[in-house]
Amino acid sequence: MRKAVLTLVFLALSLLMGAQEKPTEKAYKRDGNAFVQSVSRTSSNDIATAYVWRDSKGNEYPIFLHKYVKGEKVGRYTAYVIRTSRKTGKEYKYYIPQGEQIATEILNESK
């Protein structure tokens, strides 16, 4: 019994270790004496646009469009930006309020 439990624990740990995100390109780019993180967190269903989102503090972020492939919104788009956490330095997707309306406007103008 103990051997089976240990086997299951090791199997679970190996699956968790293999599931970690691995970038497909270099995780940095060199800018003079600084190394800057350069991993893109977009998927194949996402479209980069020439538009920017300006937040209340005046920061500007490029807008990406995400196409839903599952659920009740299949085929529809929404807008998001990639922001960086001040506390941890990690990037995350911030879905813009009323992103579906913004995505529709962007797609209509690009036609």
- Is 10's pLDDT higher than 80? no
Domain range for 42 is 2-110
Residue 65, class by beta-carbon neighbours within 10 Å (0-12 exposed, 13-18 middle, 19+ buried)?
Answer: buried
CB 106 within 8 A of CB 51: yes
* Global confidence as pTM: 0.58
- Is 39's pLDDT higher than 90? no
Give the pLDDT mean for 83-95.
91
- Count how many domains the chain has: 1
